[in-house]
Amino acid sequence: EDLLAVPVIAGVKSKEETFGGAEYTLSVEAFIPGTGKGVQGATAHHLGQNFSKMFDIKVSDDVASETFSYVYQNCWGISTRSIGVLTMLHSDNKGFVSPPRVAHTQLMIIPCGITKSKTEDEKKNLYEYIEKVKVSLNGFRVKTDLRDNVTPGNKFNNCE
C-alpha cells in the first residue's frame, strides 16, 4: 500500500484457498476503487515443517550438538498482477505517473528564465545553485534537465 500507492486489504486465506501443503496463507488484495473488486497482489505461505520433513531438510540444534531438527519454512511472492493494478490506477490518457517510492526519479529540477540575454556568468551561477539544491535533496532521487536547446515547457511535458 505504501510502496505502490494502491489501496489494499490484508487477510488470511480460507483453508480451501491455502497453498497446498501450507499450514496457512496470508494475502494482500489490491483494491480497485470504483469497482468494489480486488486483485490478489501478494501471498505469504507458512509451510511449517511439512516440506522440510518431506525433503529431509534439517538444522543443527546447537553448534556442538549432534541433534538436528526439521526447519520451519515460509515462502512468499508478489504477482505481476500488482504491476497491472499499479499501472491501471496511476495512468491516464497522457501516460503513467509512478508513485514516488517506486519512481526512478522522484524530483526533477528544471531551470526557467534562461534567455539569450543571460550572461555566461549568470548561467554558471544558476547551475551552481541548482547543484546545491540537488545536493540538499540527498534523501530523494533527483535529476536536473539543463539542456539549453529545449524550452522549459517541452522539458515539463517530457518529464511528466
Q: Is 3 among the domain residues?
A: no
The CATH number given to whatever domain includes residue 150 is: 3.40.50.800
Question: At residue 160, does pLDDT exceed 80?
Answer: no
- Please report where in the chains the cell 490506477 appears, as a residue: 89
Sign of CA dihedral 62, 63, 69, 74: positive
Instruction: Assess whether 85 and 129 both reside in one domain.
Output: no
Compute the mean pLDDT over every residue in the chain, rounded to the nearest whole number. 91
Instruction: Assess whether 12 and 82 both reside in one domain.
Output: yes
Instruction: Find the domain containing 134 and state its range.
Output: 107-159
β-pairing, 68-70 vs 73-78, is: unpaired
Instruction: Assess whether 87 and 122 both reside in one domain.
Output: no
Instruction: Assess whether 15 and 78 both reside in one domain.
Output: yes
Question: At residue 75, does pLDDT exceed 90?
Answer: yes
Q: Is 101 among the domain residues?
A: no
Q: Return the closest-CA partner of residue 81 out of 123, 39, 117.
A: 39
Return the exposure string of 98-130: e unless at least 16 CB atoms fall within 10 Å of the residue's CB, then b: beeeeeeebeeebbeeeeeeeeeeeeeebeeeb
Structure confidence at residue 20 (pLDDT): 94
Number of domains in the chain: 2
| Confidence bin at 124 (pLDDT 50/70/90) | very high
Q: Is 72 among the domain residues?
A: yes
Question: At residue 138, does pLDDT exceed 80?
Answer: yes
Instruction: Assess whether 78 and 141 both reside in one domain.
Output: no
| Confidence bin at 68 (pLDDT 50/70/90) | very high
Q: Is 102 among the domain residues?
A: no
Structure confidence at residue 92 (pLDDT): 86
Question: At residue 63, does pLDDT exceed 80?
Answer: no
Q: For the residues 16-31, what does the mean pLDDT come to?
A: 94
Residues 115, 92: Cα–Cα separation, whole Å: 34
The reported pTM is 0.64
Residue 28 contacts residue 10 (beta carbons within 8 Å) = yes
Instruction: Assess whether 42 and 112 both reside in one domain.
Output: no
Q: Is 134 among the domain residues?
A: yes
Question: At residue 18, does pLDDT exceed 90?
Answer: yes
Residues 67, 69: Cα–Cα separation, whole Å: 7
Domain boundary among 92, 125, 149: 92
Q: Is 144 among the domain residues?
A: yes
| Confidence bin at 1 (pLDDT 50/70/90) | confident
Q: Is 69 among the domain residues?
A: yes
Q: For the residues 86-97, what does the mean pLDDT come to?
A: 87
Grid coordinates belonging to 22 = 501450507
Structure confidence at residue 158 (pLDDT): 85
β-pairing, 73-78 vs 95-96, is: unpaired
